[in-house]
Structure 1
Amino acid sequence: MRMSSENQRYSTENQQNAIAEYAQQHGYEVVSSYIDAGKSGLSLKGRDALRQLLSDALCPERLFEAILVLDVSRWGRFQNPDQAAHYEFLCRQAGIKVVYCAEPFGEDVAPVTTIVKHLKRVMAGEYSRELSGKLARAKRQQAELGFRQGSRVLYGFRRVLVDPSRNPKQYLEDGERKALSNDKVVVVPGPPEELEVIRRIFQMYVRDEVSINGIARCLADESIRGHAGKLLTPAMVRTILSSELCIGRMTYNRTVHRLQNPVMKNPEHAWTRFSAFEPIVPVALYAKAQERLARHKLWDKETIKATLKKLLAREGYLKQKLIEQAKDAPSAETVAAHFGSLYAAYEAVGYRPPPVSPFGNNGKHWSKKDITSGLRKLHAAHGYITNRLVNKCDFLPSDNYIRRHLGSLASALRQAGLPVIPHSQVQKRSWERRKSAGCDEYYHGVRWTDARLLRALGRGFLRFGILLSSDS
Structure 2
Amino acid sequence: MSSDVQKYSTENQQDAIAEYAKEHEYTVVATYIDVGKSGLSLRGRDALKQLLSDVLSVERTFDVVLVLDVSRWGRFQNPDQAAHYEFLCRQAGVRVIYCAEPFGDDIAPITTIIKHLKRVMAGEYSRELSAKLYRAHLQQALLGFRQGGKLIYGFRRLLVDPTRNPRQVLNSGEYKALSSDKVLVIPGPPEELAVIKRIFRLYVRDKLSISQIARRLASSGIVGYGAKPLQVATIKHLLRNELCIGQLTYNVTTKKMQGRTIRNPDQLWTRFPAFAPIVPVSQFRRAQERLTQSANRRWDKKTIAHSLRGLLAQEGRLSQKLIDEAKGRPSAETVANHFGSLPAAYAEIGYSPPVKAPFGMNGKHWSRKAILTGLQRLHASKGRITNRSIDSFPGLPSYAYIRRHFGSVADAMRQAGLPVLSHSQIQSYTWKCRKVARSDEYFFGVRWTDANLLQTLRRLYKRHGYISQHLLDWTEGIPSAYYFAKRFGSLDNARIMAHIPLLTRSEMMLAALKRKREGKTIERPSRQSRGRPALRYRSDDILLGLRRLATREGVVSARLIDADARLPSWGTVARHFGSLSAAYKLVGLVRLRRKPARFGLLPKRTTR
Normalised-by-shorter TM-score class: 0.5 to 0.7
Secondary structure of the corresponding residue to residue 49 of structure 1: helix
- Could you tell me which residue of structure 1 aligns to residue 271 of structure 2? 273
Q: 2:120 aligns with which of 122, 139, 146?
A: 122
Secondary structure of the corresponding residue to residue 295 of structure 2: coil
Secondary structure of the corresponding residue to residue 356 of structure 2: helix
Per-residue deviation, 1:222: 2.8
Per-residue deviation, 1:331: 5.8
Per-residue deviation, 1:16: 0.6
Paired with 1:55 and 1:194, the residues of 2 have a C-alpha distance of 53
Q: 2:50 aligns with which of 49, 52, 55?
A: 52
Secondary structure of the corresponding residue to residue 45 of structure 1: coil
Paired with 2:240 and 2:133, the residues of 1 have a C-alpha distance of 27
- Could you tell me which residue of structure 2 aligns to residue 131 of structure 1? 129
Moved over 6 A (4+): none
- Could you tell me which residue of structure 1 aligns to residue 191 of structure 2? 193
Q: 2:27 aligns with which of 19, 26, 29?
A: 29
Secondary structure of the corresponding residue to residue 278 of structure 1: coil
Secondary structure of the corresponding residue to residue 43 of structure 1: coil
Q: 1:264 aligns with which of 257, 262, 265?
A: 262
Per-residue deviation, 1:56: 1.1
Stretches of structure 2 that go unaligned for 5 or more consecutive residues are 312-326, 341-346, 361-608
Post-superposition CA distance 1:346-390 (Å, at most 9, x none)? xxxxxxxxxxxxxxxxxxxxxx9xx79x65x6334899xxxxxxx
- Could you tell me which residue of structure 2 aligns to residue 339 of structure 1? 338
Paired with 1:10 and 1:116, the residues of 2 have a C-alpha distance of 21
Post-superposition CA distance 1:189-226 (Å, at most 9, x none)? 11111111111111111111111111112222233222
Larger radius of gyration: 2
Post-superposition CA distance 1:305-342 (Å, at most 9, x none)? 7xx9xx9xxxxxx9769x99xxxxx966368555339x
TM alignment of 1:37-48, pairs within 5 A: 37-48=35-46
Paired letter, 2:155: F
- Cα distance, 1:304–1:131 mapped onto 2, change above 3 Å: farther
Paired letter, 2:259: N
- Cα distance, 1:216–1:320 mapped onto 2, change above 3 Å: closer
Paired letter, 2:113: I
Per-residue deviation, 1:6: 5.5
Q: Once the two structures are aligned, what percentage of the paired residues are identical?
A: 60
Paired letter, 1:278: A
Secondary structure of the corresponding residue to residue 121 of structure 1: helix
Stretches of structure 1 that go unaligned for 5 or more consecutive residues are 312-317, 325-329, 342-367, 384-472
Paired letter, 2:339: G
Secondary structure of the corresponding residue to residue 68 of structure 1: strand
TM alignment of 1:383-422, pairs within 5 A: none
- Cα distance, 1:231–1:333 mapped onto 2, change above 3 Å: closer
Paired letter, 1:144: L
Post-superposition CA distance 1:69-118 (Å, at most 9, x none)? 11111111011111111111111111111111111111111111111101
Paired with 1:100 and 1:284, the residues of 2 have a C-alpha distance of 64
- Could you tell me which residue of structure 2 aligns to residue 430 of structure 1? none
- Could you tell me which residue of structure 2 aligns to residue 243 of structure 1? 241
TM alignment of 1:203-218, pairs within 5 A: 203-218=201-216
- Cα distance, 1:298–1:218 mapped onto 2, change above 3 Å: farther
Secondary structure of the corresponding residue to residue 330 of structure 2: helix
Per-residue deviation, 1:283: 0.9
- Could you tell me which residue of structure 1 aligns to residue 83 of structure 2? 85
Q: 2:106 aligns with which of 98, 105, 108?
A: 108
Paired letter, 2:330: E
Secondary structure of the corresponding residue to residue 34 of structure 2: coil
Paired with 2:286 and 2:192, the residues of 1 have a C-alpha distance of 21
Provide the alpha-carbon RMSD of the alignment: 2.9
Per-residue deviation, 1:62: 1.3
Task: State the TM-score, normalized to the length of structure 2.
Answer: 0.51
- Could you tell me which residue of structure 1 aligns to residue 62 of structure 2? 64
* Corresponding residue pairs, total: 334
Secondary structure of the corresponding residue to residue 379 of structure 1: coil
Paired letter, 1:143: A
Q: Does 1:378 align with 2:355?
A: yes
- Could you tell me which residue of structure 1 aligns to residue 593 of structure 2? none
Paired with 2:168 and 2:5, the residues of 1 have a C-alpha distance of 22
Paired with 1:378 and 1:45, the residues of 2 have a C-alpha distance of 52
